[in-house]
Amino acid sequence: MFSLSGMNALVTGASGGIGSSIAEALARQGARVALSGSNGAKLRAFREQLIEDVGGDHVEITCNLADKVQVEELIPATLDTLGSIDILVNNAGITRDNLGMRMKDEEWDEVIAINLASAFRLMRAAAKPMMKARFGRIINITSVVGATGNPGQMNYCAAKAGLTGMTKSFAQEVASRGITANCVAPGFIRTAMTAALDEKQQAAINGRIPMGRMGEGAEIGAAVAFLASREAAYITGETVHVNGGMAMLG
């Protein structure tokens, strides 16, 4: 694929299903990865497995993205550990599903804080060293539902749609400094969460997808690895939809 040799990356939500696939994809192309998440034990176990499977000198940085102070400390901690940051992947996210009329303020606020506001703060902080280096790759993981909507997920869809608009704006601001900002929007991806669905539920989901199957985490990782590469230098402000044709968006 594309070589990321000599590049340092920070991936949030790195111990989750999609996050771990993204981190592995970057590591396999030669990047050194700072794995971030709120569960230190899971991060540690994944880091050890990643080094065993792929090799490299990867690190873990525990961070609760709901805590503004910890968010502000994450980029400096990454710079202290890795020395530089070439790639930022904002992948971490939560859901607090409810119908709009029943949605509590806390359910709205938590999702916006972690899925949208923390990404803004990390992009803002990472841009400074990237601008000095005149190189950077920012990749935000959105979702197909950020473009289509989904009942019971007003908060999540708003955050993902907001992330897309924010990425486009930022891409225009930093393009002249050699920094790109793009989104990858997964559809239904096979994870531990979807594996818990029964056969009927999985069949119903697959029936909505022209390819007839859910995606794999590695397929999201591949899209991220491409956008992180030097070869993707002329692509910015774009959203790569990886959804098996479920929503064919322009």
Q: Residues with catalytic annotation?
A: 156
Torsion angle defined by CA atoms of residues 225, 91, 166 and 156, in that order, rounded to the nearest 10 degrees: 140
CA distance 9 to 224: 11
Q: How remote is the C-alpha of 64 from its chain's centroid?
A: 15
Closest by CA to 119, choosing from 67, 65, 156, is 65
What does each C-alpha distance from 53 to 45, 48, 81, 226 come to in angstroms?
12, 9, 22, 21
